[in-house]
Amino acid sequence: MKIGELARRSGVSPTTIRYYGGVGVLPPPARARGQRDYTDCALDALRFVGALKRSGFTLSEIRKLRELPKSEQTSAKWRVLAMSKLDDLTQTISELRAAQATIEGALDCACDGRPASCTLIAADSRQSPAIR
């Protein structure tokens, strides 16, 4: 199928599909009379990329996953990468919860830019005492 059909069926724009090909996230398509000619495998690959992106994986990490050999070691290597990503997500969630608490603690701030009376700075100090 041509890139337009792949885009329509996958919901991923042609520009993004070409970009994914360029950075090695998608395998290079065959060429038919100079045009990219995708198979249904590309559709599956785009579903895979979408699921990984929504799970927090970067394109660089997705490329590494794609490069894993289809062997008995693959599931073990996937598990290592997935556990590492879970650690990253846990850290990010913790940081976002702290940011949320900081903002919630400063909703009624009326300091007019005076740090000494700023509840945002006070709330931030409570959330991130190590940064002082």
From the list 27-35, 58-66, 75-83, 119-127, the region that binds Zn ion by CB under 5 A is: 119-127
Among 19, 111, 122, 127, binds Zn ion (CB under 5 A): 111
- CA atoms of 17 and 14, how far apart (whole Å): 5
Give how far Cα 53 sits from Cα of 24, 25, 101, 109, Å: 15, 11, 27, 37
Q: Considering the complex, state which of residue 67 and residue 104 has its C-beta at the smaller distance from Zn ion.
A: 104
Q: Which of 43, 59, 98, 118 lies at the binding interface for Zn ion (CB under 5 A)?
A: 118
By C-beta, is 34 or 113 nearer to Zn ion? 113
Cα(45)–Cα(42) distance, integer angstroms: 5
- In contact, 105 and 119? CB cutoff 8 Å: yes
The reply to whether 101 sits near Zn ion by the rule CB under 5 A is no
Size of the site for Zn ion (CB under 5 A): 4
Choice between 101 and 111, CB closer to Zn ion: 111
How far is residue 47 CA from its own chain's centroid? 14
Asked whether 69 and 45 are in contact (CB, 8 A), the reply is: no
- Pick the piece of the chain touching Zn ion (CB under 5 A) from 51-59, 65-73, 92-100, 115-123: 115-123
The single residue among 1, 81, 120, 122 that binds Zn ion, judged by CB under 5 A, is 120
